[in-house]
Structures are given as C-alpha cells and as structure tokens.
Amino acid sequence: MSAQIPAERSTEQLREKWMKPEVISGSEILLRSLLLEGVECVFGYPGGAVLYIYDAMYGFDDFHHLLTRHEQGAIHAADGYARASGKVGVCIATSGPGATNTVTGIATAYMDSVPLVVITGNVATSLIGTDAFQEADITGITMPITKHSYLVRNAEDLPRVIHEAFHIANTGRKGPVLIDIPKDVSAQKVRFEPVHSVDLRGYNPTVVPNRLQLEKLVAAVSEAERPVILAGGGVVYSGGHEGLLEFVNRSGIPITTTLLGLGSFPSGHDLWMGMPGMHGTYAANQAIQQSDLLISIGARFDDRVTGRLDGFAPHAKIVHIDIDPAEIGKNVKTDIPIVGDVKTVLEMLNPMVGYSSKADAWRAQISSWKQEKPFKYKDSEDMLKPQWVIELLNDTTQGEAIVTTDVGQHQMWTAQYYKFNQPRSFITSGGLGTMGFGFPAAVGAQMAHPDRLVISINGDGGMQMCAQELAICAINKIPVKIVVINNQVLGMVRQWQELIYDNRYSHIDLAGSPDFVKLAEAYGVKGLRATSKEEAESAWQEALDTDGPVLVEFVVHKGENVYPMVPQGSTIDQMLMGDCE
C-alpha cells in the first residue's frame, strides 16, 4: 500500500456515479456524501456500532480509509490533515469508548479552530438511553467542544446533515462538528437524494467588515508612532497570508506572529519580530508593551501571549480583527473592533492604508532590540543541545518542510529556531496543549501532501502517547521523518519545578522509557540514534536520504531550559533571559 491518495477520485465520471439516486443503505449514503464533499481520506477505527459503515467500504475502491491503531490517533491525524490542507478532516469511531477516545482530539481542534467532521456510531435508536452495551451520550459529552452536533435518527436526513456539517465546520470560525449515527440508521435503506444547498436559520457568519471601522483603523495607523501588528492562526485559516504581507509592506508596521500564526508571514522579513508571549522574543514583547497602536489580526489574546492582562500593552489603542465577534473584547478591551474574515478584511484594507511615516524611530528601535537580544543558548561540543538539533533540521531543509510538534520544551524550541516561511507548514496543538498530538498529526499532514517532506518533532514523553501509529507508517509507507528529542524527563514540567517550585522535582523522570530505536524497528520503521553532533548530522542525513518513514532519536542535555521565559503572573516584558544573559 502507499500513502498516495488516488488522483482520479475527483473526476466528473465518478461524481455522477456517486450522485446516482437509488435505494441504498444509510452507510452507503454516508460514504457517497463524504465523497461528494471532496473527502480524500478518512481516518478511523471500526467497532460494533459502525460495522454497517465499514461493511459498505468493502470493495468500494473510490473510498479511501486509513486504519489507525487508536481513535485518538485517528482524530489527531484528521486534524493534521485539515491544518496542512485547509480542507475538512474526517474521522470515524464506534460508539461508547471509541467515541469517547476522540474527545481529547475534538477539544484540541475546537481550541485551535480546526475544521473536522467527526462521525461516531451509536447503539440502535430503540436502545438509546437504556445504558446498552457501549452506549455513551457523545453529543452531550462533546457539546462544549463542538461547533454543532447531530444525532441522526433517519437515514433520509444523512445527505442534508453531512452537507450542513461540512458547511458549519469550514465557515465562520472553523471548528469540529460531530455526527452520531445509530446502528439501525446506518443499516436503514432509503432513496438517496444528494443535497447541494444549505439553509441554516440563524447561522450567517460575518465575512465582510464594516467599512467605517476600516476607516478608523486607517486613521489610527496614520497617527501612530509605535504601531505593532499581532497576527495569529486566523490569518492561516482564512488564506490571508498574502494580504498580510501586502499590509505590512504598505504600512511599514513591525509584526509579531503567535505560535499558531507562525508561517503566516515570512520569517526573513525585516519587520518580523518573531513570536510574542511566554517564550517569545525580547523584541516582540518589548514592542507590544511599548506600542501605542496594537493591531490584532486573527489572534484571540491567549494568556500565553498576553501574560498578566492588567499590564498588557498598557499604552496601546487596541484594534481587533476577528471573524468571531465573541472573541472581541473577551480578554482585552478593544478600541476598534472589526468583525470579518481576515482575508476579506485585508483585501479591503490594503488599498486604503498608507505608510506609517511617524514610526521611523520606532522601526529603528525594534531593529536594535532584534540585534541585541536574539534567541541564544550555550552550545557544547561535549553534548547535544536541543536548540542545536532544531537548527540542524532547519538548515538541512531550508525551512521548507511541514513540521508538526508535540507539546513541551521541544515545541517551543521548534517555534524559536525553525524558520517558517509558508502558511500551513507549522502544525501544533496551541490552545489545549495536547501531548500525543504531534506524530499522528504528521501522518495526516503527509496524507494531505504525499510529495512534501513532513517532520514530526516529539519529546520522549509525548512520543509514547501515540507511538502505536508507527505501524501505519510502516504498513502504508508513509514517509514521515520522526524526531524524538530525548532528555529522559518531562522537560517543561521539570523547568517549572526548577524555576517556580524551588527544584522540587516530582514525578518527572522518564528514564524507564523504551529504546526508541528498537521500538521503531519492532513496528518495521528504520530507527537511528545520535548522541553527538557528528552522529546527529549523519543520522539526520540518512533519514532524509531514506524513502520511507524513519525515526531519529537525539539524546540531548537533560537540564536545558527554554528561554526567554515570562513567569506566570508577570507582564510579558518581565522576562527571564537565561544563562546567556
């Protein structure tokens, strides 16, 4: 088998076959409806309540399904596919424990505004509410972490429900939608009538902004002496990266990009300051704190960006551009609210805005900060430093790979030392901080882009949470390059215990972890290990030269910390700069 998705599945000839009205089962309606939505690959794991659905897949060559080894692996893979492609990711799980195993992945997507359609099976409609075997109220359980959910009680509703679910997931502020299908509904035979229109009363996201508010922004730019742009994941999700680059070039306003905004703006641009917040650059944090105009574009003022709210950007007039009106003013008082799709807002705004001529001294000040206090660390010839490893990955790929990370110190080092220049090239769990996300997300990203280099960067803790998905990389020849930054410890927890809890190290030792090289080989994946710079360069080059999946374990210094760091409860200009300062 191959990770390549069949190229011919979108032809008009096949679409006519899928759209043919006839009496078929609810399961067949589901599969045809997914194909008509343009779904290329579904990630899933079967069980009793979805057996009719999986039976409908038998011999259905047009439908591409990837069997993961855990439902959490399936939903994280669907998430990675969605983030890398800009399309809706789809996963399938059975009822009860299968459905509840997707909850962490649903919450991950919800926090980061990722479009997913999650299909779960349920017990037959006659058994709902009886505590039947493997019954769970998954629509109730996931209500706070989905945009919308459906419990389908009649197979005739499936074409409409599926079409609506994709529309809801991928419009407005994107997010996950759940479709729960009882077993008897998946077996029920009805006449299939494809649905092509959507009529959702009360659901009409604002895409086009109020022009008067844009004029207020333009006036504010012309008056500002210390303007700053804060760009977030909304720029990526809207496809607004080209408009953002034009806006910066037209206005001359320095820009910082959040963790999820990395890649939305070229890292080599003179006006880019890096990432702000808890582990952000000195220049970005100082610029925000001293700014007189802060323009937030598709960012939600997360606490890891703002630090202590009552001391955040104390001198700035705040402009907030977001498609979700509920975000505006939620965390930070907003002076100029602009509700609309980021790409549309920038397309309208760019012809209106002029160069920020009063900010020449400000641009010089920021340039000085960038030169005086870049990210830095104490390198060593005797041991591997994790920052050096990330620089090695960056230098050998020229920042052109799709990179996924798990959560922890390696995530922050990747954000700091890998230079992203393209949108949808950095895939990480931002809002929920989900360990176990990075590796299966890379599988999904590779399915979306079979011809691109995909690197999965993991800690030794997170790698063990979804390591079983190594099997599908081997079986399906999915050529992800898997990096394990192994410091034998829960690194970020250790760092907090060192700096905040007076070196009281409690339950962080991962010394009993498996031999990652042997683990990879047990699944049929090539495994390599490096403990020195020379070994690291050789092993990584071998991984790049290998056609299939490879796991490379980099054994790094145990006591390394991520700096800069803003301690909890501090303002973002109160930064611990580390041993190099």
Give the residue numbers marked as catalytic: 71, 133-134, 183, 492
Nearest CA among 384, 393, 438 for reference residue 411: 438
Residue type, position 63, single letter? F
Distance between CA atoms of residues 386 and 230, nearest Å? 28
CA–CA distances in Å: residue 505 to residues 281, 372, 488, 501:
28, 34, 13, 8
CA 502 vs. chain centroid, Å, equals 34
> Number of C-alpha atoms within 13 angstroms, CB side, residue 373?
19
Question: Any idea what the Cα angle at residue 572 is, between residues 569 and 577, rounded to 5°?
Answer: 100
Q: What is the DSSP string of 68-131?
A: -SSHHHHHHHHHHHHHHHSS-EEEEE-STHHHHTTHHHHHHHHHHT--EEEEEEE--GGGTTTT
Core vs surface per residue 110-132: b (16+ CB within 10 A) or e: bbbbbbbbbbbbbbbbeebeeee
Question: Any idea what the Cα angle at residue 577 is, between residues 415 and 488, rounded to 5°?
Answer: 60
Question: For 257, phi and psi rounded to 5 degrees?
Answer: -120, 135
Residue 507 DSSP symbol: S
Question: For 532, phi and psi rounded to 5 degrees?
Answer: -140, 170
